Structure 1
Amino acid sequence: MIKATEDMKPLLQAPAGTFWRWADADVIEWINGSTICYRHDLVGILQQLPTAAVPRLGAVLLVLSACRGGADEQDGILLGHVVSNLVAADPSRRREVDEAMTDAAKLLSVVRELTPSLRSGARRTYLLSELLATDVIWRNFHETKTAIEELKSGIYTGFITRTGPALTVDHFLPDLKVLAAAFNRYGSKDLLVKKLRTGLDQLPEAAEIPELPVLHRSLLEDMEADERTLPMARLTRQVIAVFHLPIHNRGAAEMPLGGISDIINRGQYDRLLMSELAQDEVLLTARLVNNEALYYRREDPPQDPLTQRTVLFDTTLRSWGTPRVLIMSVALALPFHSKHGESVNYFGLGANDYGPVGLATKTEVVEAMTFLDHGMDYSASLRKFFASEELPEQNETILVTEASTFAELMANGKIHDQKFLLDYVVTVDRRGQLVTYECINGITNELFSAKPDIHELFAPGPKKEKPTVPFSEEVLPDFLHRRFLPLLCPKVRLPKTRSQVIEIDGDRIIMVNGYQRLLSVHSRDKGAAELEHYIPRGHYRFHYAGSGLLYLAVYNPSLLSAHLFKINLDESTVDQHRFSFDDLGGKHIAVFFKNRFYIAGISKRFWFNPTTDDTGYEDLSVEFPQKSLLRADDNLAFSDSRKGRMKTDENVMYRIKEVGVNVDGIIQLGQYRIEARGEGANANIWFVQQDVKKEMKQAATAVFKDKQLTANPSVLFNRWQWADGSTITSDNRGFAHFRSSNGRITEFSITMAMGLKITAWASDGKVSGNPMFIHVSEVNIIYVRQFYDLYIRPFIQHIIDQS
C-alpha cells in the first residue's frame, strides 16, 4: 500500500516548466500568479469522481481554470510558451502537439462560454467527469482513496510544494489529448450544454404515435344521439335494469339438487330461507315486493353452456302502438343479460309467416319498428317456425308478445304443442306492464313483472322559452342607453283586459301594454313612463301592497315557470325574480293571498313569498279564497278615472316608405316633413303633411326593417342610412333617433305621435317641444327654434355638404 501511494505522489506534483504550481500547501495557481483552485476544492472534486480513476491533473487544472471564467488571453500565452518549449525539445512531435493544443484550446473556450450555473458548484464536477471520461490512468480503488485522503490531510505538503522533474512531451501531451478528445466528442457549446442538461449525447426522436383504435359507440349510445330513437333507448335502459332471466331448467333431471352455493335475493318461493317463512304476512310480503327476501341458490350441475338465444317477437296488428315499443325494448335488452356470451338471433312473427330481423344498428331498429302484419295472431307462423328451423341443442327460445294475444292463444289451444318448445315468454300490454314467464314442460310460471314509466319517457316535454336576441350595443341609439327613457312615451297598444292593468290610489295606472312593456300613466295629457322595458308573455296578476310597493306576477302554465316583479313606484325601480314549479294539474289560477303569490291547480298549489323569496307547495285542504273571488273578467269595463287616463291610443309613425332630405333642405319622412313653426315660446315642431310631393334630393337607403335590437322581442326597429353614413332609426314605440356621421354633431331623438306636436331630446340632455312627453322633473328645457338650430339643422347641413 505504501509503495502504491508513493507511485501516485508524483501525479500531484507540479513538473518543472509546466503552466501551474503549488503556491503553498493550499493554493494551486498559474505560474504568473493567477489562482486556479484551492487544495480542499481539488480534493472535493477528486472524491466525487469515479474512485478507481485518477484524472490527469494537468487536464483537470486547465478545465478548472476555464470554469473560473474571465479573460483567457494571458493564460493562453503562458500555455503557448509551455508548448513551444516542449516542441523545441522534441521537434519531431510538433504536429501532434499543435493539433492536440488547438483542439484543447477550443474546448477551454467552449467551457468559458457556458453559463455560470453549468460550470460551478456540483455541476462543475459533472462537467469534469464528462470532459475527462477518456482518461486512461487507472489505479486500485484503495490506492486512489488513500492518496486522496493523504492529500487532504496534508501529509504530502512537503513533497508537492517542491518542483518535480522537468516536463516532457510524453508527460503533457496526454493532458492535451484528453481535452482534444472531449472537443471532438462535443465540438460545440450547444452539444455540451445538451449533454450537461440531459445526460444524453443525442435527444431521442419523437416516438411514433400509434393509431388508436376507433372507439365505436354502442347501439344504445347511437340511439340516444338521435331524437327519433332517444325515448326507445331510455326505455331499453329501464328494461335492462329490471329484467332478469334465470338459468332455464327443462326438467327435474336438470334441476340443481346438489348443495347450496349462495344466498341471493331473487329466486323461486320454494327456495326461500326458513327464516323468511317465519316472518309475519305483512313483513314477508314487503320483503318479497322490495326484493329483500333471501333465497337459497343451489350448486349448478355440470352442463354445456348456451351457444344461442332465439328471440321471437310479435309483429301482428294487436301489438301495434305501446306494446310494440315495449316488445322492441325487451328485444334490445336481452343481449345485456347474456349468461355465457351466446349469440342472439331475432325473428319477427306475422300472421302466416316469419322472417329474420336485424337489430344490430340504429337503422335496423328503426326499420324493425315499422314492421306490421295485418293478421290478428301469430299461431300459424309460430308453428311454421318450429317446423322449419333446426335449432341447436344448447338454444334458448324466448317469445315476446302482446299479453291479450298470448292469453287467447293459450286458452284456445292454438299454440298447445309449441309451448313445450318455448323456454321463456315475455308479455306486454298497453298499460306498460311487462310480465316474464318460464316455461317448463309446457307449464308457464310467472317469474317477475315490472312497469317501466313509458308514458313519461314518450310524453312531450315542456315548451322551451324562445330565446331573446341579445342587446347589440353598436347599433343602439344613445336614447336607449339611458337607465330611464329621457322622454315619456306615446300611449300605444293599450291593454284591453283587466288583468293587465291596476289603478293605484286613483292617482296613476300601471299597465302591461301590447308591446310587453310596463308603463305608468298619470293623466290623459301626459305620456306614459316606462318602468320596465320587457315583461314576458303569460297570465298577469297585479297586487298593490301599499307604501309605493307593487307586485306583478307573470306565470306561464305551459312552461311551468313564473316571473315576479317587485316595483317601487316612488323610486321607479323594478326587481325581477324567476322561478319554476311542478305541474299542478288542470287549469291554473293565480292570486295574492296572505302576503303570498299562489298558482293553484286541481291537485296542489305553488306559493312564493315576495318578502322572503321563499317558495313551497301545499295541498288543497289549506285555507284559500273562494274561486269566485279569483275569477278575472277580461271584459270588465274600466272605471271612469281609468277611462280618462287610457282613452287615448296615439297613432305613431313607424312604417315609412322613404326617408331623405328634400329640395328645401328639410327632413322628409314619407308624406310628412319635420318643420319648426312659430317664434319664441310659441314655436313648435310638427309633422307637416305635404300637398305636393317634394323631390328627394338626398335620399336615405333602408338598412333593415322590423329588427329586434333590445331584449324585448315586440319592440322593433327600422333604419335608414344616407351616403355619408348618417342614420335615422325608428321604433314602434313612437320614437325616431338621428345620428350623424360627424361625431361633433350631437345625436337627438324625437317623438313620432301623429297629430301631436313633436317632443325632441338631445344626447347632451337638452329637451324641447311638446310638454306632453316631457318628464315633470325635467329642467333642461330650451326653446324649439334653439333646439332646431343647435341639433336638427346641423344634421341636415352635414348630409347636404357630403352629398
Structure 2
Amino acid sequence: MDINQYFQSYENYFWEWTTDEDVPDESGYHENNLISIPNIGPIAYRAYVIEVLKMLKVGFPSFGSLLLTLYATQDGYINFNDALAPTKNFYGDGDAVKGIVNITVDFLERVKSLDKVYKKGQNRITLLQTLFGSVYLRLSSGNSELILGRYRKRPHKIGESAVKKYATPNFVYNDLRIFERLNQIFPTTQSIIDALQGKIDDLELEDEIAEDEATVESGGDDFIQELIEEPKTFQVGSLIKRIWSGLKIPMKHLSPGEQPIGGVSDMTNKGELHRMLLSEFANEDEVFMSRIANNEALYIQREIPPEENIFERIILIDTSLKNWGKPKVLSFASTIAIIKHPKAHTECKVFALGKNITPMSLDKVEEVVENLNQVSGLLDVSPALDEFFKKERSEKDLEVFFVTNEENLANPNLQKVIHENRDRLKFIVTTSANGELNFYKHHNGARKHIQKIMLPLQELWANPPKKKATQNNNAQKNGSKTPVPLNYPVLFPTPKSRIATFLYEGEFYILSNKKQLLRTYLSDNYYNKNIYVSSRIHRGSEVLVENISIKPKGQFALAKDKQGSYIICQYQPDKKLLSKLNVITGEYSDLNVTGQNIPLNFNLIYFNRNFYLHEDGFPMIFKINIEGKISIEQVENNEEISRRFIRNTAELARLHNGGENILSNFGIIGINEAQELVVSKLALSRRFDNVYNFNKNLMDLDVIASQNKNKYTFGDGSEIITDTRGMLTFKSSNKHISTFYIPSTQYGYLALATGKDFGGSEYYLPKNTQLKIKEMDEMYTDYMKNFIKHILDYGTKN
C-alpha cells in the first residue's frame, strides 16, 4: 500500500482533508493540514495524526478506524451516529455495511465511556497501541514504516489523497471491520481498562520515576549510594534523596498542546481576544461587556500536537567565602539532585564561579571530592556571573540555575547582574547554614518564590560512615566491585532504551542509553516450537564496546574502517556539528558545517564505504569520509542510496518493541519458603513446562545472602555475582555444580546456561554457538535446584 492509497479520502465518507490557514505545518506543506468530519467538526491536525502513527510500532490500522478512535477519545460532545450517518445512508444498501457501522458505534461508545485519565497525553497513545496491537487486521510494521518514510520525503503527496474518490461498500466494510474483532476481544469497558492497567503502569515506570526498583535501568541510585559510603562525600550524598522527595523543578517542558485544554470542536469561557467567537461581537455593548465580566463569552482554543521541548541546563555554583561550609555542601547536594534526578534526561553542564568560570564534572565520587575543595577568596562573584552572560551563547532553550548563599542576594552588585539577566537566568537556588534551601524562578521579568526545602542536617548526618577497614581475603581490593566479563555464554537482554539503531553489512547494531555498542539479530528458527511463542523473532545482544564517549543527541550512522574498528558518525543539526568517533581507539575529529548550508531534512546514513548527508530529490548531497580525519564534500545524488535507505529503514523497523525490562537494582537476594531464588521482590519460578521467569514474590525469605558491592554470599560460601547489564552468575561452593548464568529480566521467559549446556528461551541463545541444547526443566533441576539445596543443607538460616 502506498502513501496515496493509505491517506485517500472518499465521497460521502465520514472524514475529509481540510486546511486551517492559521496553523503552519513543520513539514513545510501547509495545505490539507486538518482532518474533519463534514458538518460536525475537526478530528485532529495532520501533524498530530502523523505523530500517533509513529508511535504505532505494531503496524498501522486502517486510516478510517484510527480517525474514529481518535474522535472517540476527544473531550466534549461526540455523536457517532451523526458522524457515520452519511456513510451508512450512501453505502449501506446491503446488510454488510449497516451491520459493520452498528458494531463500530457500539465499540466506540465503549471507548468514549472510558475515564478521561485513559484518554489524555501519553495514556491516549497507550490506549491506541493496546487496541490496535491486539488484532492482526493491520499493515505490517515494514509497510507502515515505508509509508511514514515516503510522507517525510514528500508530504505534498497528501494533496493527491485529498481529492475525493468514490468508495465501494466493500471498501467501507474492510475499513471498519477491525472494530468487529475489537468488539469480540473487548466486550466491556472494564475489559479495556484491564488490558490498559499494566501497560500504563509500565509506561510511567519508563517516563517518570520507577516505583519498583527491580525494573529500573538506572545507575543514579548506585552513584548516590557511593557518595553516602565515601566519608568525604557523605554529607552531600545523604541530602540528595531528601531533596528529591520535595523538589518541584520541572524536569521536562511540554508545548501547550500537551495540556488538557480541548480541541477546535470545544468551547471555553477563557481565552484571548483574537480567539473570541465572532458572534459574541454582535451583542450590544452593555450585553457584550456583561458576558465578558461573567465569563459567559465563548472562545475557540485549537489543539496543538504535543511536543517536548529539548533544552540544556547550566548550573552555576557560587564558590565565594559566604557560600563555604554547610551552604557549599547544600549547593553541591542540590546540584547533583537536579542532575541525577530520575526524571532528568536533559544535558547539564556545571560551572564554578569565582575569579574565573571553571567547568566541573560531578559524575564520579572522585570528581565530587575534588570539586568540593574549590573555593575562591572573593566575597562577591558578580563579575564572573556577569562575564558568563556576556559571552555569546547560541544553545537552544538554555536554562540557567544560579546556586548561592541566601545572604549574597543582598549584595547590590549581584542584584544588578541578576536583574539585568533575569530573562536568561531561569532559577535561583539559595542555601543557608541551618539547612534551608529556597528555589526562585524568573517569569515575565519577576522573581517568584516557588518552594522551600528544610533539611534536618543533624538527623541526616547522625551516622557518618567509618573509614574503610582493611578488607578480608574474600573482599575485593579497595572495596571495588567484583569484575564481570564483557560477555557470557548467553546473550544479554536487549535494552528498551536506545540512542540509535543501525543496519550495517546485514547485521543489526544498537547504541544503548548506557553508551554501549551492542550487536543483535533477528531469527525465525526455533529448536522447540512447542514451548516458545513462534511469532517472536527478536533476540538478545552481545556487547561490543562499553563506555562510549558520545552525546545522545542528533543523528548517527555506523561503519567499519579498513582496520575493522567501528566508526560512529554523528550529526547535530542544531549546532551544525559533524563528528566522527572510533569507538575502539577513541580517536575523535569534528567539523563545523555552518557554511555548507545543509537543509534541515537531510539524513545521516551509511552507503558503500562512506557516510552521507542525504535527502531524496536533491541533485547534490554531502559525502563524509570514514578513514582519517573527518571531511565533507558535495557529490551528485544517487538513486541507489534512496533505495538502500528505504530498505534499511524497513528492516530496522523490525527491531521495534524488542527490548526487555532489565533488572539492574538487585537489592536483597535470598531463598524463600518455596525454595525459590528471590532477587529483590521477585521470585524465579516455574510458570509452565520448561518455562521460568521472575514474578512477584509472595512468600517470606528463609535465607538471605550477605552483600559486598555486586557479590552476594550465602552461609555455605555459594555466591551470586550481579551484572547491571542484565545477568546473574551463580558459583556454588559445591565443586560438582558448574558455574551457570541466568539473564535478569522481568516477565520474559528465561534461559539457563553453563559453559557447555543451554536450556530455555532461544532469545538468549547466541547465533553461532557450540552449546548443547537441553530442556529448561532439566537445566533448572541439575543446576539451580541443586544450588539452592546445597545452600539450605550446609548454610545457616537467618
**TM-score when scaled to structure 2?**
0.31
Which has the bigger relative contact order, CA under 8 A and spacing at least 6?
2
**TM-score when scaled to structure 1?**
0.31
